[in-house]
Amino acid sequence: MQTTNWVPLFPEQASTFAWQVDALYFYLVAVSIAFSIPIVLAIFVFGMKYREREKYVSGAEIHGSMVLETTWSIIPFVVSMTIFLGGAIVFFNQMTPPDDAMTVYVVGKQWMWKMQHETGQREINELHVPLGRTVKLTMTTEDVIHDFGLPEFRTKADVVPGRYTYLWFTPTKPGKYHLFCQEYCGLNHSGMGGWVYVMEQRDYDNWLSGNVSGQTPVEMGKDLFENKLGCASCHAGGPQQRGAKLEGVFGSTVKLTGGGTVVADDNYIRNSILNPASQVVEGYQPIMPTFKGQVTEEQLNALVAYVKSLTPGAATNSPSPASTAPSPANTAGGTGASANNMTPAKADRGKQNAAGSNPNTPSNSNSR
Amino acid sequence: MNAQDAVLETGYQSGIPPVNYLNIKTTLASWLLTKDHKRIALMYLVSVSVFFMIGGLFAATIRLELLTPASDLLETGTYNKVFTEHGIMMIFFFLIPSIPAVLGNFLIPIMIGAKDLALPRINLISLYIYWFAGALALYGLMVGGVDTGWTFYTPYSTTFSNTYVMIVGLAIFINGFSSILTGLNFIVTIHTMRAPGMTWFRLPLFVWAHYAVSLVMILGTPVVAITVLLLAIERVSRVGIFDPSIGGDPILFQHLFWFYSHPAVYIMVLPGMGVVSELISNFSRKKIFGYEFIAFSSIAIAVFGFLVWGHHLFVSGQSPYAGMVFSFLTMVVAVPSAIKMFNWTATLYKGSVSFDTPMLYGLGFMGLFLIGGLTGLFLGSMGLDVHLTDTYFVVAHFHYVMVGGQVIAYLGGIHYWWPKMTGRMYSEFWGKISAMLVFVGFNLTFFPQFLLGYMGMPRRYAAYPPEFQVLNIFSTAGASVLGIGMLMPVIYLVHSLKFGKPAGDNPWMLPGLEWRTTSPPPLENFATPPVVTWEAYEFGEGSGLDLEEARRRAAAPAIL
């Protein structure tokens, strides 16, 4: 945190890609200066040197120059392409969560943020995360569009009703950082914020154990699935079942009745619960009733987490498929490797991942 | 001697031509039912000025509220309405009509040597549509206002906001037709009404810019009309279009909205570029450097401007691959703007540069648009945009383009053509002071906002964390300087109407067609229809102007 008295002019760098965004920023500042100085200088020099000496004398007969026009078209184009490429590379880093991230579920609501950790802890307007551990937020909202903005981490993402969006970061510095809602959401928009606390692993473990642990999302989802909502009566997975088998579904490509395929990601699971008839798996009848209005956003998160847990290795977040409820100690074990591996290989893996889990990928949206 | 002769006599003595478009008839009906493009332009001038002042009052309120971190001057709900209405007034009722409807309306027919626009009645209708829409928007504001932001994002605007979204939305819907008709009128006029000898490449670049802008107006505005209509349908009848809880898609709204509103940004800056091309070339008394490149870069901006709307949606949950395409095209659209910038600068080289008030605005535009354009690259670069979008960096950027670009150019244009429009000269002294105050005040207001934005201060916040206060104080201080700079022209321009020196037909001895008729021009612009035999921006002997005589007169003590 900024503790000095003078005016801060630059935000802290508190995540692994903060330096990348800042590097891009400084590159652009340099480009801007490199373009501005000659132009401003030329305006001043020409203005002084060629100022009017005598009334109504016309200037030199110069109409243009193909060489100059070509030069000052090509140079800005080339420079703008470097800006584009730099921006695209950083962007794909920001959009591509590593596989070993810990998930936190976020639900926005006018005008508060509700978070739930995989271990069951709930928080409002505050998010505690361990230092060096990659955190992936799976986010939705109960009402209007919000935006989960973390300036010190140099990332943000809109939180959109009716679908999941994602945000990830790996904190690199312990401290207390701003959380802002950055999409206008009505009356108390400027009050819809809070803090992200980045803690040393040990402090984080203490914080976790200090909170009363409720059900984990997977446990809560299992309970809803088997008991409260009765999903299991059709989807339990036996040969005579009316509903599709869910084991191994998550992350796979499913064929739909009437042609087309869709990748079974979070948004597909969510949509299948809310609008079951819209994307029916091949070989099944469209008989499932909608659960719209019967499940809350938190319950939906839990159901998605549970369905995800039925596919070994699919959950991008749970380190070992066997343990549906990883203990804090377990989670800590997986941290070391994930903290700082911003390797080039990540970019390739990233592309696949972005295609699979983004809400707007073609495979997902063409059937809408 | 009868009365009419007496009028003629005194008219000549004062240097104002006896019969012109202003005094030919003076009844109220002769104004309200006029088909004269010049009178319509003047009525637009008064109307957009009223909306500019209303928008400016909202801006002042915003800056006062942001002087302190807490939301203490206004309640947050009121603040939300104030920034929304600032945006709506400024964008839909000032910036979009400003240069086209005032200066374009007045000058395009004169510049191409025509008697009027091709469709004079349509021109008058578009003014009435604008008035009706403006009155409706003001009514919506009186009864309680609207708090959705000028972007009307769904589902907030369709389902959650309990303010007067319908009235204001309807006003914007109706106002769109005014834009469409104006654009249509310009295109038809430029195609069909050019004087003999006025070839396409002899057109002033002001006309080229308006041709480009008209294309955007007639192609883009219908989309925003449809979008607002869909919004209204969902709000009234709960048909699910944008709200996911009834089956809609909120991102669809953003696509539709920005499909118009990004090109609308070019509606708000291309005319300014047209004005600045005139100012730079005329006050350097040198043919504009790279005429064709500036002309076609306007068209290129208009065309590519339609293909970049997705850069407003990088963090909205749009596919990253779509984002790539939009980011790439955004970079491409930067090139024609850069070309213009370089050509204007090169025009000064070996010119004969004078620094009258309009030129100060022209040079001010170059400085501010340079910053506005370059910071656009920051936002077009996806990785950086993720950090910067929805912060004050965006606010600063678009004010540099909209105010630093269009408003500065508009003020420059008003000063430049004021002698032609009114026949009177304003005070050059106060003009220069005001131009400099506007430049300094503007930078002091908006430059700190770039820093605030990078630090992460979100836009549309009534209250903000205390560490952002110092820069906000700078910004508010700058806004008061800017406000004074903007108010001054109102005073000395109005003053000049009665007390200004008669300007004469061609106060700066410039070759454009508008300077070859009387000031103010007669009803149908020219005593005899002009035949154009000179190239655009021909300042030397080829222009056919009697420069020797003018020089002699300038050297002699003024006896007018």
Residue A102 DSSP label: E
Run of H or E residues at A141? strand A135-141
| A33 within some domain | yes
User: Is there a domain that residue A111 lies in?
Assistant: no
Contacts of B487 (CB under 8 A, 6+ apart): none
Inter-chain residue contact B250 with A160, CB threshold 8 Å:
yes
Verify whether the Cβ–Cβ distance A155 to B387 is below 8 Å.
yes
Domain span at residue B93? 18-552
Determine the residue among B384, B471, B474 to mutate to test chain A binding: the one whose Cβ has the most chain A Cβ atoms within 10 Å: B384
Q: In chain B, how many domains are there?
A: 1
3 state SS of B301:
helix
Residue A84 with chain B: CB contacts under 8 Å: 327-328, 331, 380-381
Global pTM reads 0.85
Query: Cβ A54–B318 below 8 Å, yes or no?
Result: no
**Tens-level pLDDT at each residue, chain A (368 residues):** 444 455 568 899 999 989 999 999 999 999 999 999 999 999 999 999 999 888 888 888 888 889 999 999 999 999 999 999 999 999 998 988 888 899 999 999 998 999 999 888 888 899 999 999 999 999 999 999 999 999 999 999 999 999 999 999 999 999 999 999 999 999 999 999 999 999 999 989 888 876 555 678 888 888 888 877 778 878 877 666 778 888 888 888 888 888 888 888 888 888 888 888 888 888 888 888 788 777 888 888 888 888 888 887 755 443 333 333 333 333 333 333 333 333 333 333 333 333 333 333 333 333 33
Amino acid at B517: T
A-chain CB neighbours of B355 within 8 Å are 47, 51
- B contact test, residue of A33, A156, A367 with most B CBs within 10 A: A156
Domain that holds residue A91: 18-50+64-95
pLDDT tens across the length of chain B (560 residues)? 344 444 444 444 456 667 889 988 889 999 999 999 999 999 999 999 999 999 999 999 999 999 999 988 999 999 999 999 999 999 999 999 999 999 999 999 999 999 999 999 999 999 999 999 999 999 999 999 999 999 999 899 999 999 999 999 999 999 999 999 999 999 999 999 999 999 999 999 999 999 999 999 999 999 999 999 999 999 999 999 999 988 899 999 999 999 999 999 899 999 999 999 999 999 999 999 999 999 999 999 999 999 999 999 999 988 899 999 999 999 999 999 999 999 999 999 999 999 999 999 999 999 999 999 999 999 999 999 999 999 999 999 999 999 999 999 999 999 999 999 999 999 999 999 999 999 999 999 999 999 999 999 999 999 999 999 999 999 999 999 999 999 999 999 999 999 999 988 899 999 999 999 998 999 999 988 999 988 899 888 878 888 888 888 777 665 54
Within 10 angstroms of residue B44's Cβ, the number of other Cβ atoms is 26
Q: Is residue B560 part of a domain?
A: no
The answer to whether ipTM exceeds 0.95 is no
> Looking at the partner chain, which of B285, B459, B555 has a beta carbon nearest the beta carbon of A57?
B285
Which helix (H) or strand (E) segment holds residue A218: the answer is helix A217-223
Please report whether residue B9 resides in a domain: no
* Closest partner CB to A28 (pick from B76, B335, B378): B378
Minimal C-alpha gap between A238 and chain B (Å) = 33
pLDDT computed for residue A133 by the predictor: 93
| Structural domains in chain A (count) | 1
Evaluate whether B356 touches B428 at the Cβ level (below 8 Å). yes
- The verdict on a CB contact (< 8 Å) between A69 and B332 is no
Set of chain A residues whose Cβ sits within 8 Å of the Cβ of B320: 91-92, 95, 354, 358
Nearest residue of B to residue A80 by CA position?
B331
The verdict on residue A23 lying in a domain is: yes
Local structure of A114: helix, strand or coil: strand
Please name the residues in contact with A154: beta carbons below 8 A apart, sequence gap of 6 or more: A11, A13, A15, A17, A18, A20, A21, A22, A94, B386, B387
Q: For residue range B240-261, what is the model confidence (pLDDT) as tens digits?
A: 999 998 889 999 999 999 999 9
Structural domain includes residue B5 = no
pLDDT digits (tens, 9 = 90+) for A1-48: 444 455 568 899 999 989 999 999 999 999 999 999 999 999 999 999
Are residues B348 and A43, on separate chains, in Cβ contact within 8 Å? Answer: yes
Q: Are strands A126-130 and A193-199 parallel, antiparallel or unpaired?
A: parallel
CB-based contact B80 A187, cutoff 8 Å: yes
A363: nearest CA in chain B? B319
Q: Which residues of chain A have a CB within 8 Å of the CB of B331?
A: 77, 80-81, 83-84
Looking at the complex, report in whole angstroms how far the Cα of residue A2 sits from the nearest Cα belonging to chain B: 9
A145 and B153 within 8 Å at the Cβ level: the answer is: yes
The torsion defined by the Cα of A64, A66, A70 and A72, in degrees rounded to 10, comes to -20
CATH number at residue B131: 1.20.210.10
